[in-house]
A = this chain, B = another copy of it.
């Protein structure tokens, strides 16, 4: 059995993390909780319900004797992609559901939270359940970041451009002076092998051989990216993957997401509404195609995820999810866990690129330099940026 201390910490972490989700939604109008402007964005109330459903489905139902579900139909509404758990609302329909209401979803959260807190103090909490609770909390933190990215999308694509907060986010986002860090070739090890939580996709620490490489100490800035725009690189196929070039032409891409050319000046939608571009800030909301085209234009390349992980102690990271040149594939020795939890990561290991680091929207305590985030090469509604290598 775990020490009482660990369990006490878990009890308090549970409360803090669950509360933080609610805090993120504080500035919203009820209407903002409901809409789904594109398939990748989920309505905020769906995130609130889904993270709650996770604890209900994977902890309370199997392990808390006599637990009575809040509403039988919520499994259908709030299941995301777990085939093991049965039928579900298809992803594109999430924004068509006006009910359950926001108030009902908050009642659902409170109900599950009360039960979870009782459970965390009960004898039913055995050691084998603890990793699942950690997983639930990390899952909640992932959705905290998704809440912020999705809220930004919802407000930033509204023709009224409403602000999310009146205050600037406190994070200083200005880049350091640019230099290249040299790393010598040799055998290195990557992957997680510390104590504490990690996702299954980080496990299987293993050796890799890296050749000599250099990696930038800082992220590409808005100012640098503007040059790429101004030298007309969005109209020059030579910098782009064939698929990326198709994407550029299809949406007539001209700049990162949330950039608008208004009366000759580039404006950007941010937490405070539309504002002028800050050229010192790290560029944000670019997809892999753009990141790769920028690197090609510079005569450089993106780092691989192994290079990034090895070099990561030599630079500051955490402002932007950084696109790597690595596809999201299983590490040697990757093992899918049994049951529904095994659907967490492995089944997405195709046609996605790895992003490393963390972003201004990542929850505190949710970053590791072994963390493997992943998105499809075309997506850019996350807080993504560019670090160069050669």
Choice from B84, B98, B245 contacting A154 with Cβ under 8 Å: B98
At the interface, yes or no: A326 with Cβ under 8 Å from chain B? yes
Residues of B within 8 A of A241 (CB): 347-350
At the interface, yes or no: A99 with Cβ under 8 Å from chain B? yes
Taken residue by residue from 64 to 84, chain A's Cβ proximity to chain B (1 for < 8 Å, 0 otherwise) reads as 000000000100110001011
Residue of A29, A73, A244, A330 most packed against chain B (CB within 10 A): A29
CB distance from A35 to the nearest CB of B (A): 5
Residues of B within 8 A of A209 (CB): 187, 207-209
Residues of B within 8 A of A353 (CB): 350
Q: What secondary structure prevails in chain A residues at the interface with B?
A: mixed
Choice from B36, B98, B329, B333 contacting A158 with Cβ under 8 Å: B98
At the interface, yes or no: A37 with Cβ under 8 Å from chain B? yes
Q: Is the CB of B96 within 8 A of A96?
A: no
How many subunits of this chain does the assembly comprise? Answer: 4
Contact status of A162 and B242, CB under 8 A, knowing A34-B31, A332-B211, A350-B377: no
At the interface, yes or no: A102 with Cβ under 8 Å from chain B? yes
- Name A's B-contacting residues (CB within 8 A): 29-37, 45, 73, 76-77, 81, 83-84, 89, 93, 95-102, 154-155, 157-160, 162, 185, 187, 206-209, 211, 213, 237-238, 240-245, 288-289, 292, 301, 325-327, 329-330, 332-333, 342, 347-351, 353, 377
11 new A-B contacts at CB < 8 Å, known A34-B98, A100-B160, A351-B377: A30-B31, A83-B237, A83-B238, A98-B155, A99-B158, A207-B211, A238-B342, A241-B347, A244-B350, A327-B329, A350-B353
